[in-house]
Structure 1
Amino acid sequence: MATEPTESKTATVLTEPVKQSTFGSTDPHPENLPPLTKWEKFLEIIWDGGRRTKEERKLVQRLDLHVMSWATFGYFIRLLDSTNINNAYVSGMKEDLNFKGRQYNLLATFFTCGYLVGQIPSQFILTKVRPSVYLPTVELLWTILTFCFAAVPNVKTVFALRFILGMLEAPFAVGVLTLMGSWYTPRELSKRIAIFYSASYAASMFSGYLQAAIYRGMNGTAGLPGWRWLFIFCGIISIWGPLWGYYAVPDNPYTSRARWMRNEELASHRRRMEKIDRRKPVPLSWAKLKKIVTHWPLYAFTFTLICHCVVTQPLNYFPVWLKSLNRFTVYQINLFPTAAQAVGLVTTLLYGWLSDGLSRRWQIMLIPCAFNFIGMVVVVASPNFGATFFGYLINAASWGFWPVCYAWMIEILHEDMEERAIVIGVAQTFGQAFIAWVPLLILDVGKYAPRFKMGFQVMTGVSVGQTLAVGLVWWFVRWETRRKGEAKVENRSSEAEEERDSEVGHLDWRIGGV
């Protein structure tokens, strides 16, 4: 009974032109606004722009409080629960479970295979099941699985659990990107994806500190080695993510039932999305699938993500290289890689801020591409410990490519939510597919540790491919923009001709009548 008046009220708000201009970002005639002041330009770079009303600022802040807090903490625990295996491996798991040769590589391979199995189907599920139910539920399931790692009896059980963990964690990152693309405008998006993604660095850093502290303080407590206590503590930390998610996740502006969002706020969010042509979701059909499959973004961004996923593998082998030197304690091996994570954290946030503030995407993406190439070359050619350490360290500055790339992808596909969801899912899936087998060939611990020289040589070439992929997407965007512009000109010309024909016909009729 209460639904009908609410919908009627919403419709009134959405169609009222005076209220549309309340927000700086939805002004119907932005060309009539005065130029930005220096202070407004400064705010444009620092956060979401200077020309905004208090109402819009509060609206987005309230969205951040719920969506960003849940998403960032959720990604933190996702990476914590998947990467803690690296710290466990160098902290006693290898010896206790008798890992041999390339079995370390298989830890990532089994996880990635599960990730691949779960990711694309998950994006289709998201078009049918409410994200507010689906995403927190998979969070809860992988948290339960994290506790199970503390009781693993052998290597085979670890592999089985890694595969299931990959399946359960697959929906999260792509699901959050799809969700964020439905609520945030271009000047807000990149920095928030960067904040979301930076949780991966925080998770890796925290896992290193946590394992180092546990190894010192709890190794042997209750008869359990320190690496088993790591999984128990990670599970305790993770349980709060899904509990908050069931309340905080708002679906999308056209279907949201979020208890924390008022009707007028929901109407304002819809208005913001309509102004930038983020359209209402429509059911997936064969015609739409055909359009997606024949459209260039699916292939261009998939190639880009394949290159990016391959060239970001070195940090997974940083602790293996440190352990092989036989000059550092377990505590130090867990601690030193956190320096690289700190570099990644700072640079990822910096790229996101610059990209939104300067309204530049591909230009900013070239910066992490350059850092990646430099890091690869240094590790390949390094003659000593210091240079190799620096090469691993600077490679972390290339991971910030990912958030800006996805912000660009969401903007390019702003008109079609279903295409955004599928392209995000397919691109991320193929990227993960390549890191399921490429490290086995070029970064085999049994063959190439500790230097991994051949692997870094291959990845140097792929790093060049990543840079070329940015140019490929830029070319397609220019080509499509030009084609759409030409189509608009043709439409205007044909409309003008029809109008002239109509006028001539009207005159002929009048002459004949006379």
Structure 2
Amino acid sequence: MASDPTSADKDSPTSTSVVVEEELTPLKGWKRIREVIWDGPRPEDERRLVQKLDLHLMSWATFGYFIRLLDSSNITNAYVSGMKEDLDFHGNQYNLLQTFFTCGYLASQVPSQFLLTNLRPSLYLPLAELLWTIVTFCFAAVQNVKTVFALRFILGMLEAPFAIGVLTIMGSWYTPSELSKRIAIFYSASYAASMFSGYLQAAIYKNLDGARGLPGWRWLFIFCGIISIWGPFWGFYAVPDNPFKTRARWISEEHRQKHIARMTKVDRRPPQPLTWAKLKNIVTRWPLYVFTFTLITHCVVTQPLNYFSVWLKSLDRFSVYQINLFPTAGQATGLVTTLIYSWLSDGLGKRWQVLVVPATINFVGMVIVASGASYGVTFFGYLINAASWGFWPVLYAWAIEILHKDMEERAIVIGVAQTLGQAFIAWVPVVILDVGKYAPSFHMGFSIMTGISVLQFSSIFLIRYMTKNEKSKEAVSEPANEDGREGRV
């Protein structure tokens, strides 16, 4: 019986008989500009194929990450907009808001990543979105600090699968010349969310504070829930799983085979059962440990902007509206620089060289905020730190390329690295950036982070060394690869 090319569940063998090949024709005008700044020259058929993928996968992923960060970062805006006083926060309870969220995140992340190797992301991830949206609405009704802590823990558990799940899916559909910029677009949604949360809270505080007897910070959670509710329903339709096994109705069998051919060309291999032997091989190889170490350092040294609002409030010279507004300049800086790094990385085919730039900027920013300089210099130090956030997308694109042969290793390395990075965020700020003890200067904490920034910089060259060493060993044991597969050095 012939298979239905429009079947909702396409589980046929990984045929690569369909290839994406056609003669390239020179483009002019806007199409030529688009080619230069986007994915480079390619056949028109393949361009349309990737555009359709972007329309579905990237639209869902970017909006989903936007609402994920909106629903987790709005707590800072709520805190400085009246929640602290209304619920009687004191001591280091502000730090515990992040700690409880991170603990929930950690409790769920690695188990979720293992589940994603066996369950369909197209069902699992949108369901998680729907549940965290419900929790967001619940924040509008909290009456005490303990309830806030409990909801933050649950929110962390529900949001944990999303980012690493999306990265795993992207690594199954996009080539090296396409990947970093799309991870950057996905990740940049976090900056947009933080900016939007600041603007939204500023507008709500100005126009709705006290409306229907509710303070502005409660209205913030209500509006965030309303914005978020649309994401999961689009996800149930748009998420494509992986090319070798997809239930997406918008991907025909012909297009699925073309996507498989694209992945075969860059040596991305189909998923395999996660056996104990494979797991043992993963935990004895260097990528799990080196990428995890690198991400831990990055997560720790990108924390200063989270304390920018606390520092601004301590100056007693700005209104609540201004305190919510000023940090959005950092988010804008992070957004623009992240896109620049990733465009350069994809366009030039360079990973470690580009990573050196945000790592250097981070070190400079950490030195400034740790020095206790004047108001203007410290303000600049907080903002410039955001220009180092673009390290993350390029690092993950590099990891996906290095681990191109094994989908399960990619998933586990990304999951463990993300989990332990978040684990350090859970306790490091509580110890060295305790608002109750060290605000507003945080001199000791930022000084320690300056040293960690040096470790982040050094880890780039450690990854480069390990990668070159591994390639040298493979070159000795295997014939040279002459099939034209695409990659990055």
Same fold (TM over 0.5): yes
**Structure 2 residues not aligned, in runs of 5+:** 482-489
Equivalent in 368, 384, 397 of residue 378 of structure 1:
368
Contact 1:77 1:203 in 2 (8 A): yes
- Gap change, CA 1:415 and 1:490, over 3 Å in 2: closer
Structure 1 residue 14, shift from structure 2 partner: 2.4
Contact 1:23 1:55 in 2 (8 A): no
Contact 2:290 2:463 in 1 (8 A): yes
Question: Which structure has the larger Rg?
Answer: 1
Equivalent in 292, 309, 319 of residue 299 of structure 2:
309
Give the whole-Å Cα distance in 1 for the aligned partners of 2:217 and 2:226.
15
Q: Tell me the equivalent position of 1:14.
A: 16
Output one character per residue of 1:370-412: Cα deviation in whole Å (capped at 9) or x when no partner: 1100101111224211101100010000000000000000000
Give the whole-Å Cα distance in 2 for the aligned partners of 1:5 and 1:220.
57
Give the whole-Å Cα distance in 2 for the aligned partners of 1:9 and 1:383.
61
What's the C-alpha RMSD, in Å, of the aligned pairs? 2.4
Equivalent in 477, 480, 485 of residue 487 of structure 1:
477
Q: Tell me the equivalent position of 2:38.
A: 47
Percent identity between matched residues is 71
User: Is residue 224 of structure 2 the alignment partner of residue 222 of structure 1?
Assistant: no
Structure 1 residue 142, shift from structure 2 partner: 0.1
- Gap change, CA 1:283 and 1:147, over 3 Å in 2: same
SS at match of 2:226: helix
- Gap change, CA 1:374 and 1:40, over 3 Å in 2: farther
Contact 2:15 2:260 in 1 (8 A): no
Q: Tell me the equivalent position of 1:347.
A: 337
- Gap change, CA 1:490 and 1:308, over 3 Å in 2: closer
Letter aligned with residue 57 of structure 2: V
User: Is residue 90 of structure 2 the alignment partner of residue 88 of structure 1?
Assistant: no
Give the whole-Å Cα distance in 1 for the aligned partners of 2:360 and 2:14.
51
Structure 1 residue 260, shift from structure 2 partner: 1.0
TM alignment of 1:250-289, pairs within 5 A? 250-289=240-279
Structure 1 residue 20, shift from structure 2 partner: 4.9
Structure scoring higher RCO (CA < 8 A, sep ≥ 6) equals 2
Letter aligned with residue 298 of structure 2: H
Structure 1 residue 3, shift from structure 2 partner: 3.1
Give the whole-Å Cα distance in 2 for the aligned partners of 1:20 and 1:389.
51
Give the whole-Å Cα distance in 1 for the aligned partners of 2:186 and 2:267.
24
Letter aligned with residue 21 of structure 1: E
- Gap change, CA 1:388 and 1:23, over 3 Å in 2: farther
User: Is residue 68 of structure 2 the alignment partner of residue 78 of structure 1?
Assistant: yes
Give the whole-Å Cα distance in 1 for the aligned partners of 2:11 and 2:191.
44
User: How many equivalent pairs are there?
Assistant: 479
Contact 2:17 2:257 in 1 (8 A): no
Tell me which moved more, 254-263 or 67-76.
Answer: 254-263
Give the whole-Å Cα distance in 2 for the aligned partners of 1:319 and 1:132.
37
SS at match of 1:14: coil
SS at match of 2:16: helix
- Gap change, CA 1:5 and 1:321, over 3 Å in 2: closer
Contact 1:14 1:20 in 2 (8 A): no
Q: Tell me the equivalent position of 1:66.
A: 56
SS at match of 2:478: helix
Give the whole-Å Cα distance in 2 for the aligned partners of 1:285 and 1:386.
56
Contact 1:348 1:399 in 2 (8 A): yes
Contact 2:14 2:244 in 1 (8 A): no
Output one character per residue of 1:64-98: Cα deviation in whole Å (capped at 9) or x when no partner: 00000000000000000000000000000000000
Equivalent in 424, 428, 449 of residue 418 of structure 2:
428
Equivalent in 160, 163, 175 of residue 170 of structure 1:
160
Give the whole-Å Cα distance in 1 for the aligned partners of 2:383 and 2:235.
34
Contact 1:182 1:252 in 2 (8 A): yes
Give the whole-Å Cα distance in 2 for the aligned partners of 1:289 and 1:279.
17
Structure 1 residue 479, shift from structure 2 partner: 0.3
TM alignment of 1:128-167, pairs within 5 A? 128-167=118-157
Output one character per residue of 1:157-209: Cα deviation in whole Å (capped at 9) or x when no partner: 00000000000000000000000000000000000000000000000000000
Give the whole-Å Cα distance in 1 for the aligned partners of 2:4 and 2:67.
40
Q: Tell me the equivalent position of 2:317.
A: 327
- Gap change, CA 1:287 and 1:393, over 3 Å in 2: same
Q: Tell me the equivalent position of 2:460.
A: 470
Give the whole-Å Cα distance in 2 for the aligned partners of 1:247 and 1:191.
24
Structure 1 residue 46, shift from structure 2 partner: 1.1
Q: Tell me the equivalent position of 1:182.
A: 172
Give the whole-Å Cα distance in 2 for the aligned partners of 1:381 and 1:148.
41
Which structure is higher in helix share?
Answer: 1
Give the whole-Å Cα distance in 2 for the aligned partners of 1:42 and 1:273.
26
SS at match of 2:251: coil
Give the whole-Å Cα distance in 2 for the aligned partners of 1:393 and 1:208.
15
TM-score if structure 2 supplies the norm length? 0.94
**Structure 1 residues not aligned, in runs of 5+:** 25-33, 492-514
Give the whole-Å Cα distance in 2 for the aligned partners of 1:2 and 1:43.
40
Q: Tell me the equivalent position of 1:511.
A: none
Output one character per residue of 1:336-358: Cα deviation in whole Å (capped at 9) or x when no partner: 00000000000000011000000
